[in-house]
Chains A and B, each alone.
Chain A
Amino acid sequence: MSVLLEVRNLRVEFPTRRGTLRALDDVSFSIQAGEVLGVVGESGAGKSLTGASIIGLLEPPGRIAGGEILLAGRRIDNLPDEQMRRVRGREIGAVFQDPLTSLNPLYTVGRQLAETIVTHLDMSWSQARNRAVELLAATGIPAARERIDHYPHQFSGGMRQRVVIALALAAEPKLVVADEPTTALDVSIQAQIIELLKRLCRENGTAVMLITHDMGVIAETADRVAVMYAGRVAEIGPVADVIHHPRHPYTAGLMGSIPTLEGHAERLKQIDGSMPRLNAIPPGCAFNPRCSQRLPRCAHERPELMPAGTSRAACWLHDTGNTLEVAA
């Protein structure tokens, strides 16, 4: 497998009147062609910002202050807007949380799909329309030939998200960035949408960056998972290892705090405190004030991602020569 997307030392900053906030700090990871990378974390951890930086839709005043993003070996973080517009849609598709706001209410879904196809592929409007019908049918929308002339408000939430997925895949991109694609949907619909995204991407060999706060969705979908905390990657590794053998104390706490359908814990494991605000990220390891296994150096030396089992974790417990284990 070849590396499709590479993010190196990405730093995103927001200048404010009271100083510059660093929302992403030294974020590095890569996605292989055809791979599903899950990105999890709590609100404010920087998951969505990472996604937005990759598709070039960072909201000002946010700006990329350092690092680089490479898509198939080509730098895309410093492209002029017009060129980035061509990359977005053609090479990177996007699926957002709320399917109602990501569709234009004034155009039929067919028109929106065809527009994307005509913009990015060498097709006429009538060819594009036929392709749009195929795409809608492939996403499981019944009677696609009639539904194509309907407006977004005539679709239910689940059906709208299918349309959005069809839009994201319309130009056959190599990568889809899906930011909380199922959060606005009911559980029974959630399962259908996840299944659909998985199937379509497998069929087309599309890689997916799946951003969500729902570990259950990640467990069932992703190949690898990156856990983010306070704008940094805390741990990254194969999904089963991260869930069952977390190497970072934050990941361990996060996994313990998720209620599951098995076992009967009287109390859930809890991490006391909450994630620091961006203007008060502690020096050293950002997690150290909440960590039960804090070492003296954690308060002033910042750990980089280091090998830990089959994963990589940004935690001094895994420094060479250290013999301590992460408490379960």
Chain B
Amino acid sequence: MSTPLVEVKDAARWFDVSPPWLERTLARKPKVMLRAVDGVSFDIARGETLALVGESGCGKSTVARMLVGLYGLTRGDIRFDGQPLSRMSEPGGRALRKRLQMIFQDPYASLNPRWRVGRIIAEPMLTHTQMTPDARVARVSDLLRQVGLDPADQGRYPHQFSGGQRQRISIARALAVNPEFLVCDEPTSALDVSVQAQVLNLMKDLQRKLGLTYLFISHNLAVVHHVADRVGVMYLGRMVEVAPRDELFARPRHPYTRMLLEAIPDINGAGKPRTAVAGEVPNPLNPPSGCTFHPRCPHANDRCRAEAPVAMLAGVSIVACHAVQEGRITA
């Protein structure tokens, strides 16, 4: 297998959420760091869709922003096609930047309401290419057609479009400079199901046609099941399991993955017995010791409470769990 397009090694991003300096000094309090992402590793192969799932606050959106360079790294390394992402901010880094684009969750907030659609979609071309104005207009028309809108729409403003159409505009903008890698942060969670189906179908068609690689972030496991080739499950800033899609859904290994899969209401699951899921996500400012999932885990023992598990191969999955590694729980 060729080298993966994206390699993430032990990436971490901490945020300083301490009170202001004077207040802190007077109260003799230490700095408070929020470990939004704390040591995450994964690869994405060319043409593949990797989905990240997890509950709010688990760090999935932070990972997305780290991957496109919107957040720097506190620790670790991210490489895109063999080049470290930090090169993006150096001279000549634009060439790298252009190859990765992002689609945001809220199509109402991610488009400038004062700009016409044509200008919104053309903006990445202004930044990254030396196209003539005519060539840009032609390209915008072409992009609008690709995402199922009318080329005449470029003269209109975002408020004249519905949520689903706006998300199509976001996709067109992301595709404007022919990127190879798209980071999609909850691209459909603000949309209704029938519109979600339209956008998911469009994203799949574009991937096939343009050979795109996706990092797809979602909290909806059914959507993830539909789009992903591989799935990574995050919990409190760490990756607890990465596995091929079918393996993860058929044989979830980590107790948290099992819990998530049992918790989702499914239209085919009417009346299925459900194991009640205990507890809530703990405060990320003060995460539990050892394995951060241990207070909610039915398999936790003393080792889980004391020692953080390291991700290891279990079958075709990569799992960070003592109980799985010791064989205390089986698939």
Q: Footprint of B on A, CB under 8 Å?
A: 42-43, 156, 158-159, 186-192, 194-195, 213-217, 219-220, 239-240, 243, 253-262, 265-272, 274
Contact = CB atoms under 8 A, between A and B. Distances in A.
A256 B299 CA distance: 38
A42 B162 CA distance: 13
Given A158-B280, A220-B271, A258 B201 contact: no
Contacts of A268: 197, 200-201, 226
A187 B264 contact: yes
A156 B198 CA distance: 35
A188 B249 contact: no
12 contacts: A187-B221, A188-B55, A191-B262, A191-B263, A191-B264, A220-B271, A243-B270, A259-B222, A261-B261, A262-B268, A274-B162, A274-B164
B189 to A, nearest CB: 11
Contact of B270 (A190, A220, A266): A220
Interface centre among B164, B192, B274 (most CB of A within 10 A): B192
Contacts of B56: 186
B265 interface: yes
A254 B193 contact: yes
B201 A267 contact: yes
- 3 closest A-B pairs by beta carbon, nearest first, are A216-B265, A257-B197, A42-B192
A156 B280 CA distance: 9
Contacts of A243: 267, 270
Given A156-B280, A195-B276, A261 B201 contact: no
Interface in B177-220: 192-198, 200-201, 204, 219-220
Interface string B100-120: 000000000000000000000
B277 A188 contact: yes
A219 B269 contact: yes
Given A186-B55, A190-B265, A257 B270 contact: no
Given A187-B260, A260-B222, A261-B264, A42 B193 contact: yes
Contacts of B123: none
A271 B200 contact: no
Given A261-B221, A270-B201, A274-B162, A220 B265 contact: yes
Contacts of B162: 274
A271 B194 contact: yes
A141 to B, nearest CB: 12
B263 A190 contact: yes
A195 B274 contact: yes
A257 B194 contact: yes
A191 B221 CA distance: 14
A267 B261 CA distance: 22
A265 B225 CA distance: 10
A216 B269 contact: yes
Contacts of B271: 220
A185 to B, nearest CB: 9
A140 to B, nearest CB: 10
Contact of B200 (A159, A189, A190, A259): A259
Given A158-B280, A216-B267, A260-B268, A42 B194 contact: yes
B297 interface: no
B99 to A, nearest CB: 27
Contact of A254 (B165, B194, B220, B259): B194
A156 to B, nearest CB: 6
Nearest to B263: A191
A243 B270 CA distance: 10
Contacts of A266: 204
A196 B281 CA distance: 19
Given A191-B265, A220-B269, A243-B270, 11 more contacts: A187-B221, A188-B55, A188-B263, A191-B274, A195-B276, A220-B271, A254-B193, A255-B267, A259-B197, A260-B267, A261-B264
Contacts of A272: 198
A258 B193 contact: yes
B148 to A, nearest CB: 9
A205 B110 CA distance: 46
B223 interface: yes
Contacts of A213: 192-193
Nearest to A196: B276
B150 interface: no
Interface string B229-271: 0000000000000000000010000000001111111111111
A290 B106 CA distance: 26
